[in-house]
Structure 1
Amino acid sequence: MPIISSPGIGSGVDIAGIVNKLSDLERQPLVQLKKQVGTLESRLSVYGQVKSQMASLQDAAAKLSSNDAWSQFKVTSSNSAAVTATAGSSAMPVKLDLEVLKLAKGQVSSFATVAMDQTLSDGTLEIQQGSWASGVFSSNGGGPTVISIKGGQKTVSTFAAKINSSGGSVQAYVVQDVSGERLVLRSRNTGKDQGFNVSFKPSDAAPDPGFEPAAAALRFMSPFGEQFAQDAQFKVDGIELTSASNTITQALPGMSFSLQQVSSTPVKISVENDQESMKKNIQALIDSFNALNSTLGNAVKYNTDKKSSAPLQGDSTAVGVQSALRSLFRSEMPGFTFQRLSDVGISIQRDGSLGVDSKKFESALANPSAVKALFTASTGFESMGFAKKVETFIKHALDTDGRVAARADALQSAIKRNLQDQERVNDRADRAQARLIKVYNSMDSKVGSLNALNSYVSQQLASMTK
């Protein structure tokens, strides 16, 4: 904006005041433009909130339309110390008796006791995996794990560390008492085929007399009297089954059992539909809809108390979305057990929100498959479940070319144009102000010159008179 320097000195006229007032007249359109942009920004802000709440409603609908939302189960065990159970989405409601006869175990065997920190002579230890189920060791046909006893690694403790680092099917540790120490081996996994047998091959070099006992002195104790590897044995409603693990995942589809201990009596396992989970997911849909309904309702109505219009009053897109959603939740699904939301206790209230008749809702959940169909059926839009209808409707509305997204983009474009108009008004006013300053400064200069001439002439005339 141009600056007027010492305006009106020559003429005595308030040039700055005149120019500023004329400039203000040039900027008068800004008042209306700023009012308009305020309204546009208010509308865009509401649309931002509407889009966010529609996305939340879409998420709630998408979750409710998936099979997982209806495949949550509540599992109980009459003796969780003996058996615990979980149910996945492919499980079925069931009640059964499970009796644990044996737990799956790995083999545990030890070696003969040797003196503490005794140094052993060179040799080779071979650990072969297999089974002792018949009372005689039977190899599984795989190659043995081979451990060499060499200089610097010939104590029982270093020997155990070497076995553990070999990555074989056996792990080792050392136990000690007053008589010395012993090497103990145990299977890494459970099951009757996880047994093992150990053999020694002494080195060709003879041990030093009285110093190093031969490696074979670590005599292997077969598992008799200690612990055989064995499969778990259990009964499901009297049907005897076995498993190499205490975690049973294949006995019943979708079910997982964890055997903890042998049970003296059958453990009662109950698998029921988790109604609380269903309620929570349906309530999430209701809450999301009600939040959106409240926002739209407040945004399009006239405030009679304040006698003012809401930001989106008369906005056809907002009114259309509100009307479409309410109509959608009032629609019917002919041919289903439950054809309307009101059949399960969910209905549109006078203010457009969704209300729940708790008693009717609880009664409907006793037939979970029918309630599921009401929300998840997908046999064409007219017979589409309510959750799928909502998800589909909002997806189209929020897509790039959808009605809500397009309206928000239009508001954003209008704001951009308004700001450009404001810049043009300011530019025009600045140019007008510069032009006026130039004109008035020229006038001021000429008037100043005339005043100076007038003073000179007056002085000369006064001098002549004297």
Structure 2
Amino acid sequence: MATTISDTTAANTSSTSTSTSSSKVSITGLGSGLDIDALVEVTVEAEKAAKQAQIDRLTTKTDTSISAVGTLKSAIEAFEASLTSLQTVSSSFDGLSASSSSSSVASVTAGSGAVAGSYSLEVTQLATASKVASASQEGGSSTTFASGGTLTVDVGDNASYDVEVSAGASLTQIRDAINDQLSSTAGISANIVTDSSGARLVLSSETTGEGTDLYVSGTGDLAALNINVDDEGNHSLTQQSGSAAGYITAAGNASYKLDGLELSSSSNTVTALSGLSIKLASEGSSTLTVATNTDGLKESINTFVTAYNTLLTVTNALTKVTATSDGSSTEAGALVGDASVRSLLNSVRNALVEPSTSSGGLSVLAQLGVTTNKTDGTLSIDDDKLSSALETHAADVKSFFSGDNGLLGRLKSVTEPYTATGGLLATRTEALQTTKAQLTEQQEALDRRIESLTTMLYTKYNNMDTLIAQLSATSESILATLNALNNSDD
């Protein structure tokens, strides 16, 4: 009977010692008296710590590097955009600038070969383009031309264009055919004007100047649309009047005077003065002035210096080692010691100091009062020296910066391999992303290994604790039997 009681006690002891969950088997240690959870946790952490620390360290370093490379790429691209802008605007580094005292009469821009001075301009007539109208068609815009055929449009004696018209086409359809075939290629457009007498086909040319009047002749019943041609089909300018065909505006040259010299031009954009492009806008008088472009040159040089300094500020932040605010330690930039950044900066500086051989007497930035700060490599401008230098070298600045093998071009040739699609920085980012993916795989593998280890440890400790509980129960049962025997002998 004692044995039965002891067996029940052993079973209860064993069952009380364990509890089961869906994730793991946890033992309270009642059988062995050990803190099983603590033992497993310490063992797992000891196994995991070194590898986890390595993964965390490398992940942080990789994320920081990806961010830093992205920052560097953005800074270089912003620098390139500034250089491109300075190169694209043709007047950025022009040594001379031109102005008009009356922009309503004429505007003017200075280019290569311009000479400083002041010029008197008098515009007596603007260049005009031909505009002509057909005779009125009593049927209005819906008038049809049964025969169809070919409508020939001559631009003076210089060019001739044929417009094919289908049989039975209306005046509206003829207008559309002219616009479709001649608007983009010949600069000739058509419209329809309607009044009480009927509808007229009106043609306008974009070409100005004498000898560019429009002449229209048609085959078959399209002859009703003839303009400025006689009965024999010869050119014959006739001013439009009443419902008849003729020119509304005759093509003509611009007439103007420069410093009293009478001149003529087929276009309202004239280049009579060397290096100047003058756009005539209306009849009247204006004074054209060409002078040193001091303000414009200063603005462009300042724009360049600002762009360069912005790039240097970013790279310095990424590559410098600086002391903390209390001086107790140092903080390193994300790309400290990076070979690609070091190579970039060296190449940029070499391009910056390389003497120009194609810009007259201007060969280095220092001649313009632009010098390098020894502390951080940024540029600074001495405005007084710059003003003085522009008095001598204004005409050389453009070729120095944007001419063949100019400073802007040299700098772009240095930076483009870094920012190009598939370039150095893109390749670097791709490699870092690959490293990050590998670290993610390592983390997942570590998590699986630790989970397996945890399960194994709990299983071992569970088995041990159960065995100890069973041994303890057996020992108690034997002792109880022996005690019972001793009591019966008495």
TM-score when scaled to structure 2?
0.65
Q: Tell me the SS of whatever aligns to 1:23.
A: helix
Match among 354, 366, 369 for residue 345 of structure 1: 369
- 1:24 is aligned to 45
**Correspondence list, 1:55-94, <5 A:** 55-64=77-86, 68=90, 69-70=92-93, 75-85=98-108, 92=114
Which residue in 2 is equivalent to 1:328?
350
Residue 297 of structure 1 deviates from its aligned partner by: 2.8
Q: Which residue of 2 aligns with 1:445?
A: 466
- Write the letter of the residue equivalent to 1:293: L
- Does 1:188 find its partner at 2:188? no
The verdict on how the C-alpha distance between 1:62 and 1:414 changes in structure 2, with shifts beyond 3 A counting, is same
- Contact persistence 2:191–2:202 (CA under 8 A): yes
SS at match of 1:106: strand
- Give the drift of 1:317: 2.6
Whole-Å separation in 2 of the counterparts to 1:198 and 1:65: 49
Query: Which residue, out of 305, 309, 314, partners 1:290?
Result: 309
Counterpart position of 1:305:
325
Cα distance between partner residues in 2 of 1:42 and 1:67: 38
- Report the alpha carbon displacement of residue 60 of structure 1 after superposing the two structures with TM: 3.2
Instruction: Please give the residue correspondences for 1:21-60 in structure 2 after superposition, counting only pairs within 5 Å.
Output: 21-29=42-50, 30-60=52-82
How do 1:53-452 and structure 2 match up within 5 A?
53-64=75-86, 68=90, 69-70=92-93, 75-85=98-108, 92=114, 96=119, 97=121, 99-107=123-131, 161=172, 164-165=175-176, 167=178, 171-176=191-196, 181=197, 186-189=202-205, 193-196=212-215, 220-221=243-244, 227=248, 229-235=250-256, 237=258, 238-243=261-266, 247-248=268-269, 258-263=279-284, 265=285, 267-270=286-289, 278-299=297-318, 300-306=320-326, 307-312=329-334, 315-317=337-339, 320-321=342-343, 324=346, 327-328=349-350, 331=353, 333=355, 337-349=361-373, 350-366=375-391, 367-376=393-402, 385-396=406-417, 419=440, 422-423=443-444, 425-452=446-473
Which residue type is aligned with residue 102 of structure 2? N
* Number of aligned residue pairs: 421
* Alignment check: 8 A CA contact 1:83 1:258 kept: yes
Cα deviation, 1:334-386, whole Å, max 9, x if unaligned, reads: 765233322112111233221112232234344333223433465xxxxx643
The aligned amino acid for 1:338 is L
Q: CA deviation at 1:26?
A: 0.7
Instruction: Indicate how the Cα distance of structure 1 residues 91 and 324 shifts in structure 2: closer, same or farther if over 3 A, else same.
Output: same
- Quickly say closer, same or farther: Cα 1:332–1:259, change in 2 above 3 A: closer
Q: Distance in 2 between matches of 1:121 and 1:419?
A: 77
Change (3 A) 1:4 1:332: same
1:108–1:55 Cα change, 3 Å: closer
* SS of equivalent to 1:351: coil
Match of 1:212 in 2: none
- Give the partner amino acid of 1:451: S
Tell me how far 1:22 sits from its aligned partner: 0.7
Q: 1:356 to 1:439 in 2, by over 3 A?
A: same
Identical counterparts, % of pairs: 18
Bigger shift: residues 227-236 or 338-347: 227-236
Partner-residue secondary structure (3-state), 1:291: helix
Aligned partner of 1:60: which letter? S
Matched-pair contact (CA < 8 Å) for 2:126–2:280 = no
User: What whole-Å deviation, never above 9, does each CA across 1:175-203 have from its counterpart, x for those lacking one?
Assistant: 34xxxx46556441265542558999999
- Please give the alpha-carbon distance, in whole angstroms, between the structure 2 residues aligned to 1:35 and 1:197: 83
Deviations 1:43-74 (A, max 9, x none): 44223312321233244345556794546985
Q: Which amino acid aligns with 1:46?
A: A
Q: Which residue of 2 aligns with 1:11?
A: 32
Q: 1:106 to 1:303 in 2, by over 3 A?
A: same
Secondary structure at the counterpart of residue 28 of structure 1: helix
Q: Which runs of 5+ in 2 are unaligned?
A: 1-21, 180-187, 223-240
The superposition leaves residues 85-111 of structure 1 with CA deviations (integer Å, 9 ceiling, x where unpaired) of 567x77846765352335425355686
Letter in 1 for 2:67: S
- Give the root-mean-square deviation of aligned CA atoms: 5.1
Residues 12-21 or 331-340, more deviating? 331-340
TM-score scaled to structure 1, two decimals? 0.68
**Following TM superposition, by how much is the alpha carbon of 1:290 offset from its aligned partner in structure 2, in angstroms?**
1.8
Q: Offset at 1:447?
A: 0.8
CA gap of 1:303–1:240, structure 2 versus 1, over 3 A, is: same
Q: Match of 2:7?
A: none
Q: Name 1:214's counterpart in structure 2.
A: none
Gapped runs of 5+ residues in structure 1? 132-137, 204-217, 379-383
Provide the C-alpha distance between the structure 2 equivalents of 1:2 and 1:445, rounded to a whole number of angstroms.
Answer: 19
Secondary structure of the corresponding residue to residue 8 of structure 1: coil
For the Cα contact (< 8 Å) 2:40–2:458, is it kept in 1?
yes
